[in-house]
Amino acid sequence: MWHITKREIYDNLNSLRFALTTVLLLALMVTNAVRHLREHPKRVQRYQDAVTESLNRLTDRADDSFFTLVHHGPGNFYKKPSPLHFCAEGGEPLLSDMVEVEEPDVFATDSEDNVLLEVPWSLSYPDASLQNKSVGPNVSQVDWAFIIGYVLSLLALLFTFDAFSGERERGTLRLILANSVPRHTVLIGKFLGALLSITIPFILAVLVNLLLISTANTVHLTTEAWGRLGIIFCLALLYTSLFLALGLLVSTRVQRSTVSLMVLLLMWVTFVVFMPSTLASIASSFSPAVSFDEVWKQRNPVQEDLSDKYEEWIWSDALDDRTLRGKSDFYTENVERSERWREGRLRYQSAQMHRARAITRISPATLLQHLIEAFAGTGFERYLQFVENTQRYARQFREFIVDTDRGDPESRHIIGVREGMSQKPISPAAVPRFEDTFDLSKDFNNRAMEILLLALFVVVLLSAAYLAFVRAEVF
Amino acid sequence: MMILIRRELLDNLMTFRFAAVLLITLLLVVANTAVLIQDYEQRLESYNGAVRMHDAQLRKAKTYSTMYLFVDRPPNPLSIFNVGLDKRLGNLSGIWHGFVPTLWDAQMHGTDNPFIAFFSAMDIVFVFEVILSLMGLIFAYDAIAGERERGTLRLVLAQPVRRGQILLAKYISAMICLLVPLILSLLCALLLLTRSIPLSTADFLRIAGIVLTSFAYLSLFYLIGLLISATTRRTSTALMIAMFVWGFLILVYPNLIRATVNPGGDVQARTKSAENQIRQIVNEYKRERQKFLEKEGVAGDASRFNEVLGIYTDAHINPVTLSPYLENMSEISEITPDFEQYVPIAKRYYAYVEPLAADAAEKAWFIQKQALDDIFVRQAETDRTLLKLSPVGVYDAATQAWAGTDLSGLRDFFEATRRYRRILIDYFYATDAFSSREWFVADKGAVDWRTLPEFTFARSRIGTNAKRALPDLFLLLICNLALFIGIVLIFIKSEV
């Protein structure tokens, strides 16, 4: 078996396709690294500036008074850019990198512009697509996901299309099978040979890429990031094996190598290029989008209802507990309702997105894209994770407010109303801070299914290739 | 010659690849067209809804100063062929005299799920981009190398036919074969289209332009394949090289260019300098307004004057699009008799300030136009030009121009909104609206919106589309010709 593998590798090393593959992969990986080095520091800078500003805001509010902090809330939350952004861009420009803490919503003013009624802060999820003002051509990023998903898979087919049909054409297949080698050994030898000879240029390109990225002092990769890179590399091998197995399968069934390549190409175009978008469009057209006007129509009655319900208290100037509690309830319910409404909308949208993503998983290219996104910490799932983080923090923040208030015996414990709360100053350092995180173990668990699915594809295709090869006649 | 063509034709038609290519093209085009039509109808519905809503909104306003006038951009039916920027850019623009609408200020009516934008739209041209190029190469790779391998090339050349003729025969017959899937799938698409979307004659001409461009694109890839075939000995080598070329031109290069080109110069500095210039204009406008109030003797009392008439003034500059928003709005529903004395001053105020705002916005527009071009357009144009080094870029640009979904096509709409704004201002002058009582208060009769000029927008004429598309189409044709001549030269000099 090793003999066959070695022979395959030597065969390939001197071929034109090997040279072309090496050049192509190197060019792509170098471009990827250069671009990452140019843009990542800017991205990190932007993030840090934004976070500092948001923390400053929180400190200012806490300095001002406890009530200001409760009323205006913490500053906006920002999504931490992943250091592995170069692995998968994951449609980042289409996703918002922040969750907004909305400024208090002015409900009513008197004739002198004094605010009579103001609803405290709430979370909202801005839509990034409105921020996109570019009029340039629509092209995707050259990231690892693209290089592996599209280029490497195509190359894998170019390496295997003539594995058997080519030998059959040249007549060397008879020679091999005339030796006392079992057929499965030949098949596995061929597979390993092709895998190794495509892995060599890929490893070379990856090493150059990582060398460029890790030696630059602007980008810092942690041990965890290296672990993630290792997983992504293994995924790339698994994914390449899938296409190698497909190539072997078709190659055993088809007599002529050119026909085999043609069949493979058409399959590749269908599964990798067309399937993801077509299926997603079909899936998303099942559930119609809610239009902007409808959304506003749903939104408005929410607030009007509430001001009627609490009319008795919200316009009153009295300072008794009942009135204050009524006001507090009004605020709480108002914030709760608008947050629930916004979250519901986000849920609706992401459910639609999840459906589309689930269906496109039939295409291995999308499967790989999702997996790389998950391990690189970018993309849609990451966005949802970030949103969840902010929601958790918001709960924590509100609990902190209640606890702090409870700690003051002079307070009337009516949250949200200036007169009903602790009047003590609060130290900004005591307020919990938001930190966006993502950890590996969680990603791994969530993704195990998809990895297994990918592995299953490989096994099925390999066994199919084996069956086909065992039954194939040599002439 | 005819014999040669017939032989080649039969050779090509009876192959597996022809059947496979035909099937895949048909399937993809039909499936995508069905999806795209549904998408278009949804957008059209949302457009109609937005127009109705904006109409109702306008009628609700009682005074000119609280007018909410919005115009909407209808979706382009030809976006089914090449969606271009039609879906990506804003389709809703506010119109008033103190603001010059630009493409970058536009918003979206009927926001779809923003996440769905993840899955890039698959228009018919995209399917063709991928499939036609592949088809061209697959049909060409063995045209010469295959005959050489089988030894039939000698036989053919032994006949008294010129080598150029052989090539021409091969070219013509392959083109006929390749046109079958192209035309058939287009006919299917058109069948689906005309059933649900009414198309005008001009639209059909535009589609014809797209077909012509597709043909030139297809032929270019066939010739590239032929070139590879003429220079290689073995068919499998030819096919492999062809696939590398295809992968590079279609897949890698278009995505590579954005990665390599540095995003345009110092955008921030450019924005800042333009913003400062515009700020000066806005400040000048504010000073003039203040001067007027002082002259009328209500400046010290300004807050009183403002409060009684409920005047809300705003003059800020959008930091991204650099548009100044100049507003003087009155939010009162009636004027009590004691304050009737302010009405003449208010009339003079609006008659003086509003034209001033319109002029300031226009002055700012001259600076803004240049700056926006530098900030947003120039980079995009560079990208597009670089993209044209690959046939895909040329094809995409040309079909967008035919469909009217390219940048110029969309700018036509904003050109129209700016024209409409001028018409509106002229209308205000003609009806003395600026100095009327209805400008700021509706207690003696609300504004009659029925006489307001209507906004109309028609897509550019077919001639304009052609003018925008022809340079790229000619580029494709010239490449075709050059390649063909090159192949003939190589083939004539090659040995058998």
Q: What is the CA radius of gyration of chain B?
A: 30
A436-450, A461-475, B67-81: the lowest-pLDDT one = A436-450
Per-residue pLDDT at A112 exceeds 60: no
Which residues in chain A are contacts of B256 at CB distance < 8 A?
Answer: 27-28, 31, 142
Which residues in chain B are contacts of A285 at CB distance < 8 A?
Answer: 35, 38-39, 42
Q: Structure tokens of A359? A: 């269906």
pLDDT in tens, B389-423: 999 999 999 999 999 999 999 999 999 999 999 99
| Count of beta carbons in the 10 Å neighbourhood of residue A72 | 20
Which of B24, B113, B388 is the best residue to mutate to test the A interface, defined by the most A CB atoms within 10 Å of its own CB? Answer: B113
pLDDT in tens, A142-168: 889 999 999 999 999 988 888 888 888
- Residue B352 makes CB contacts below 8 A (sequence gap 6+) with B292
Which pLDDT score is estimated for B458? 86
In whole angstroms, give the CA distance from residue B136 to residue B226: 9
Phi-psi region of B201 (alpha: psi -120 to 50; beta: other; left: phi over 0): alpha
Closest in B49, B115, B380 to A135, CB measured? B380
Report the number of secondary-structure helices (H) and strands (E) in chain B.
16, 4
259-288 in chain A: CB under 8 A from chain B = 259, 261-263, 265-266, 269-270, 273-274, 276-278, 280-282, 284-285, 288
pLDDT in tens, A174-227: 777 777 778 888 888 888 988 998 999 999 999 999 999 988 877 778 888 898
222-261 in chain A: CB under 8 A from chain B = 257-259, 261
The DSSP letter of residue A130 is G
Q: How far is A146 from chain B (nearest CA, A)?
A: 9
Which of A151, A281, A297 is the best residue to mutate to test the B interface, defined by the most B CB atoms within 10 Å of its own CB? Answer: A281
Residue A311, chain B, CB below 8 Å: the answer is no
A66 CB-contact burial (10 Å; exposed 0-12 / middle 13-18 / buried 19+): buried
Element spanning A115, H or E: strand A115-119
The torsion of the CA quartet A163, A368, A272, A452, rounded to 10 degrees, works out to: 70
**Residues forming a β-bridge with B314:** B327
Residue A384, chain B, CB below 8 Å: the answer is no
Under an 8 A CB cutoff, do A136 and B35 touch?
Answer: no
Q: What average pLDDT score do residues A109-127 get? A: 73
Residue A292, chain B, CB below 8 Å: the answer is yes
Alpha helix ranges (H) inside A216-320 = 223-253, 257-268, 275-286, 292-309, 311-314
Under an 8 A CB cutoff, do A28 and B256 touch?
Answer: yes
Which residues in chain A are contacts of B248 at CB distance < 8 A?
Answer: 24
Under an 8 A CB cutoff, do A135 and B115 touch?
Answer: no
Residue A159, chain B, CB below 8 Å: the answer is no
Q: Structure tokens of B120? A: 């890039």
Kindly give the parts of chain B with pLDDT less than 70: 110-113, 117, 120-121, 258-265, 299-303, 496
Which residues in chain B are contacts of A284 at CB distance < 8 A?
Answer: 113, 116, 119
Q: What average pLDDT score do residues A252-274 get? A: 85
The torsion of the CA quartet B4, B7, B12, B13, rounded to 10 degrees, works out to: 130
Under an 8 A CB cutoff, do B130 and A32 touch?
Answer: no
State the number of CA atoms in the 13 A half-sphere of B81 facing the CB: 31
In whole angstroms, give the CA distance from residue B456 to residue B72: 10
**Closest residue by Cα to residue A246 from A368, A369, A364:** A364
Which residues in chain A are contacts of B121 at CB distance < 8 A?
Answer: 277, 281
Which pLDDT score is estimated for A293? 62
Under an 8 A CB cutoff, do A150 and B380 touch?
Answer: no
Under an 8 A CB cutoff, do B46 and A291 touch?
Answer: yes
Which of B243, B256, B257, B381 is the best residue to mutate to test the A interface, defined by the most A CB atoms within 10 Å of its own CB? Answer: B243
pLDDT band at A282 (very low <50, low <70, confident <90, very high): confident
Under an 8 A CB cutoff, do B255 and A141 touch?
Answer: yes
Which of A24, A258, A384 is the best residue to mutate to test the B interface, defined by the most B CB atoms within 10 Å of its own CB? Answer: A258
Q: What is the CA radius of gyration of chain A?
A: 30
Q: What average pLDDT score do residues A344-371 get? A: 86
State the number of CA atoms in the 13 A half-sphere of A204 facing the CB: 15
Q: Structure tokens of A40? A: 């990542």
Which residues in chain B are contacts of A346 at CB distance < 8 A?
Answer: none
* Pairs from A329-336 (Cβ < 8 Å, separation ≥ 24): A330/A306, A331/A119, A331/A120, A331/A416, A331/A417, A332/A415, A332/A416, A333/A306, A334/A119, A334/A303, A334/A306, A335/A119, A335/A120, A335/A121, A335/A122
Phi-psi region of A169 (alpha: psi -120 to 50; beta: other; left: phi over 0): alpha
Which pLDDT score is estimated for B197? 86
Q: What interface predicted TM-score (ipTM) does this complex get?
A: 0.83
Which of B123, B125, B149, B255 is the best residue to mutate to test the A interface, defined by the most A CB atoms within 10 Å of its own CB? Answer: B255
**Residues forming a β-bridge with A124:** A100
Sign of dihedral through CA atoms A439, A442, A446, A449? positive
Per-residue pLDDT at A240 exceeds 90: yes
Phi-psi region of B107 (alpha: psi -120 to 50; beta: other; left: phi over 0): beta
The torsion of the CA quartet A77, A82, A87, A88, rounded to 10 degrees, works out to: -10
Q: How far is B308 from chain A (nearest CA, A)?
A: 10
State the number of CA atoms in the 13 A half-sphere of B381 facing the CB: 8
In whole angstroms, give the CA distance from residue B286 to residue A248: 76
Which residues in chain A are contacts of B49 at CB distance < 8 A?
Answer: 291, 293
Please provide the distance, in angstroms rounded to a whole number, between the alpha carbons at the two ends of chain A. 23
**Closest residue by Cα to residue A290 from B52, B33, B116:** B116
A382 contacts A90 by C-beta, under 8 angstroms: yes
95-114 in chain A: CB under 8 A from chain B = 95, 111
Q: Which amino acid is at A136?
A: G
| Count of beta carbons in the 10 Å neighbourhood of residue B286 | 15
Which pLDDT score is estimated for B260? 58
**Closest residue by Cα to residue B89 from A257, A417, A133:** A133
A253 contacts A472 by C-beta, under 8 angstroms: yes
**Closest residue by Cα to residue A250 from A365, A168, A366:** A168
356-375 in chain A: CB under 8 A from chain B = 356, 360
Q: Which residue has the tokens 């923003």?
A: B114
Residue A200, chain B, CB below 8 Å: the answer is no
Q: Which residue of B has its CA nearest to A112?
A: B307
Q: Which residue of A has its CA nearest to B53?
A: A293
Residue A114 vs residue B418, higher pLDDT: B418
Residue B304 vs residue A9, higher pLDDT: A9
**Residues forming a β-bridge with B317:** B324
Under an 8 A CB cutoff, do A133 and B239 touch?
Answer: no
Q: Which residue has the tokens 């592949």?
A: B134
B281 contacts B363 by C-beta, under 8 angstroms: yes
pLDDT in tens, A374-395: 888 888 888 888 999 999 999 9
Which pLDDT score is estimated for B412? 92
Under an 8 A CB cutoff, do A356 and B16 touch?
Answer: no
Element spanning B317, H or E: strand B311-317
**Closest residue by Cα to residue B119 from A102, A86, A274:** A274
A197 contacts A18 by C-beta, under 8 angstroms: yes
The torsion of the CA quartet A198, A199, A202, A203, rounded to 10 degrees, works out to: -160
| Count of beta carbons in the 10 Å neighbourhood of residue B28 | 24
Which pLDDT score is estimated for B3? 79
A243 contacts A157 by C-beta, under 8 angstroms: yes
Report the number of secondary-structure helices (H) and strands (E) in chain A.
17, 5
In whole angstroms, give the CA distance from residue A209 to residue A424: 56
pTM comes to: 0.88
Under an 8 A CB cutoff, do B115 and A94 touch?
Answer: yes
**Closest residue by Cα to residue A311 from A319, A294, A323, A299:** A323
B489 contacts B161 by C-beta, under 8 angstroms: no
The DSSP letter of residue A270 is I
**Closest residue by Cα to residue A255 from A166, A156, A343:** A166
Closest in B46, B134, B377 to A135, CB measured? B377
Which pLDDT score is estimated for B398? 94
Q: How far is B160 from chain A (nearest CA, A)?
A: 31
